[in-house]
């Protein structure tokens, strides 16, 4: 089948295109801005990439199917041509994945406000390390898997990141509604995606629809420490296993510790020791990600006793790019980037960094970029999270003109309330210049950039700056 992907260079669409290519389909696609590394990966796989959108070109290509990305809307010339002519059938990416893969596989769907990419990668990694040629699709770049997607053996499980965002402009259902879960992970649930959900109950409603898709022979794995999930778990059509810290959890995380080299904890399943995990990942949230992934992998592998799954491979797991990823460390200043863009994730990461580097000064740099982070909805929560840092550097709101003054997050006001340790900059260039000057007078420090985008390339430029200077140069 000849499949054409509209907006092919986005992480989800690009990995989906690579997945279809690996299944033998003839894949091509277009994007307004083609960029590496996704464009390089697509080209290497034999996927033709076209620049911009052109209805006449699409007519000449005449693919068998068009996949419309959820960033494409009415007004796009290719969308308008498809609607006017009905010459070529079109679908959303989630619908394509369900049709071509997920309906035929034993599927693990990983959902939640935070940790989806890491937990999906962990589950796929553990299955493959235990001898299963499992497939997967993640919305990031895993360090320990061969790329962001893999079909695997059709008889083996398939692990997919279950996003609650909408599927396409013509299908406003959450993507995960298409994903046919046999094993469903509910990692956490908070208000996010303010551009498509009204409030927390609105998000809980779409998660309740997802839960109803789990078959009687499947299983729901839920975070027992999250009260926003608990009211959704009164179900009698599928078993529910809880994962968490308290006594009510079926799988408990106990004896958690962390330091500069990583973290350590024990897993106990229904009162029986499973094993001890010592790995490079930090934070209690990652311990929960690991516990969820281990239990899901054991169940998908058909183990009646989940504790038979070997946890030793977790010591070799190195996570996902841009999740607490260290870009530079000259022995004096450590610079890292993190994808966190929700106040809970920011706070938990900062708490973890405090535990790991108690003797270092902690500098936070934040770019409000997501549709939720740019709004006032979480302003107070962000302010409380930022208070965990010694210094707070706030970049410009991304595409601030999209929001009214009443709706837009007030970073300058937050800076004033946080006091002398905080500064809100008119633009990211000013932040970069101030931070580079600041590095020369810092003692031992950790500088962490939080954004779900590039932060205008500042983290990479500053990492190169640090690499050219010895610790003595910065004192």
pLDDT digits (tens, 9 = 90+) for 343-374: 888 888 898 898 888 889 999 999 988 888 88
Per-residue CA distances from 85 to 2, 56, 76, 80, 222 (Å): 19, 12, 14, 9, 46
Alpha-carbon torsion (296, 299, 305, 311), positive or negative: negative
Kindly report, residue by residue over 248-301, the tens digit of the pLDDT.
999 999 999 988 888 999 999 999 999 999 999 988 989 999 999 999 999 999
Report long-range pairs for 18-23 (Cβ below 8 Å, ≥24 apart).
18/42, 18/45, 18/47, 18/147, 18/148, 18/149, 19/97, 19/101, 19/135, 19/137, 19/149, 19/150, 19/151, 20/96, 20/100, 21/45, 21/46, 21/47, 22/149, 22/150, 22/151, 23/100, 23/101, 23/151
By residue count, the chain amounts to 475
Token digits for 179?
């994903």
Cβ neighbour number for residue 233 with a 10 Å cutoff: 14
Token digits for 109?
């769907």
pLDDT of residue 187: 94
Cβ neighbour number for residue 36 with a 10 Å cutoff: 10
Asked if 389 contacts 350 with a C-beta cutoff of 8 angstroms, the reply is: yes
Which segments of 277-410 does DSSP mark as H helices, in order?
Answer: 284-300, 343-356, 379-386
Kindly report, residue by residue over 87-133, the tens digit of the pLDDT.
999 999 999 999 999 999 999 999 998 889 999 999 999 999 999 99
pLDDT of residue 475: 47
pLDDT of residue 399: 87
- Global pTM reads 0.86
Confidence of residue 473 (pLDDT cuts 50, 70, 90): low
The class level of CATH for 101-316 reads alpha beta
Cα 79 to Cα 53: distance, rounded to the nearest angstrom: 9
Average pLDDT, the chain: 91
Confidence of residue 228 (pLDDT cuts 50, 70, 90): very high
Nearest to 134 by CA among 146, 147, 125: 125
Asked if 69 contacts 168 with a C-beta cutoff of 8 angstroms, the reply is: yes
- 325-474 is a CATH 3.90.190.20 domain: yes
pLDDT of residue 65: 98
Cα 3 to Cα 69: distance, rounded to the nearest angstrom: 13
Name the residue ranges covered by the structural domains of the chain: 2-93, 101-316, 325-474
Cα 309 to Cα 274: distance, rounded to the nearest angstrom: 9
Domain 2-93: what homologous superfamily? NAD(P)-binding Rossmann-like Domain (3.40.50.720)
Kindly report, residue by residue over 51-96, the tens digit of the pLDDT.
999 999 999 999 999 999 999 999 999 999 999 999 999 999 999 9
pLDDT of residue 151: 95
| More confident site: 469 or 85 | 85
285-289, 390-394, 437-441: the lowest-pLDDT one: 437-441
Packing angle between helix 379-386 and helix 343-356, nearest 10 degrees?
A: 0
Mean pLDDT to the nearest integer, 396-409: 88
Burial (0-12, 13-18, 19+ Cβ within 10 Å), 302: exposed
Alpha-carbon torsion (134, 139, 142, 148), positive or negative: positive
Q: How far apart are the first and last CA of the chain?
A: 61
Asked if 449 contacts 458 with a C-beta cutoff of 8 angstroms, the reply is: yes
């Amino acid at each position: 089948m000849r499949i054409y992907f509209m907006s092919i260079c986005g992480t989800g669409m690009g990995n989906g295109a690579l997945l279809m290519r690996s299944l033998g389909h003839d894949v091509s696609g277009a994007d307004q801005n083609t960029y590496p590394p996704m464009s390089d990966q697509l080209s290497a796989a034999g996927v033709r990439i076209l620049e911009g959108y052109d209805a006449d070109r699409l007519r000449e290509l005449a693919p068998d199917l068009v996949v419309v990305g959820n960033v494409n809307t009415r007004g796009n010339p290719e969308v308008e041509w498809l609607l006017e002519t009905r010459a070529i059938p079109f679908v959303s990416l989630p619908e394509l994945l369900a049709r071509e893969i997920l309906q035929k596989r034993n599927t693990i769907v990983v959902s939640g406000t935070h940790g989806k990419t890491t937990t999906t990668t962990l589950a796929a990694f553990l299955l493959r390390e235990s001898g299963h040629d499992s497939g997967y699709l993640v919305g990031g770049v895993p360090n320990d898997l061969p790329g962001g997607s893999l079909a695997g053996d059709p008889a083996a499980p398939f692990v997919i990141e279950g996003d609650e965002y909408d599927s396409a402009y013509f299908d406003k259902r959450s993507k995960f509604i298409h994903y046919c879960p046999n094993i469903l992970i509910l990692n956490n649930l908070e208000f996010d995606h303010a551009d498509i959900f009204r409030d927390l109950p609105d998000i809980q409603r779409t998660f309740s629809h997802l839960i109803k898709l789990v078959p009687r022979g499947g299983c729901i794995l839920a975070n027992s420490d999250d009260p926003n999930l608990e009211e959704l778990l009164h179900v009698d059509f599928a078993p529910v296993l809880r994962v968490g810290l308290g006594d009510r959890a079926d799988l408990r995380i106990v004896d958690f510790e962390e330091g500069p080299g990583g973290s350590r904890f024990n897993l106990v399943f229904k009162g029986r020791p499973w094993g001890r995990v010592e790995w490079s990942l930090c934070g209690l949230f990652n311990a929960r990600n690991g516990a969820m992934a281990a239990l899901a992998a054991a169940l998908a592998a058909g183990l009646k006793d989940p504790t038979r799954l070997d946890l030793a491979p977790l010591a070799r797991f190195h996570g996902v790019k841009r999740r607490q990823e260290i870009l530079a460390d000259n022995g004096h200043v450590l610079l890292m980037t993190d994808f966190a863009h929700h106040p809970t994730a920011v706070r938990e990461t900062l708490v973890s960094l405090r535990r790991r580097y108690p003797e270092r000064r902690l500098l936070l740099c934040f770019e409000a970029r997501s549709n939720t982070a740019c709004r006032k909805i979480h302003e107070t929560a962000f302010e409380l999270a930022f208070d965990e840092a010694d210094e707070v550097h706030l970049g410009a709101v991304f595409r601030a003109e999209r929001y009214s003054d009443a709706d837009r997050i007030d970073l300058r006001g937050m800076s004033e309330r946080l006091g002398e340790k905080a500064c809100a900059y008119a633009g990211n260039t000013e932040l970069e210049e101030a931070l580079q000057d600041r590095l020369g007078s810092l003692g031992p420090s950790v500088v962490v950039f939080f954004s779900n985008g590039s932060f205008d390339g500042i983290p990479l430029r500053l990492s190169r700056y640090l690499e050219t200077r010895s610790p003595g140069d910065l004192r």
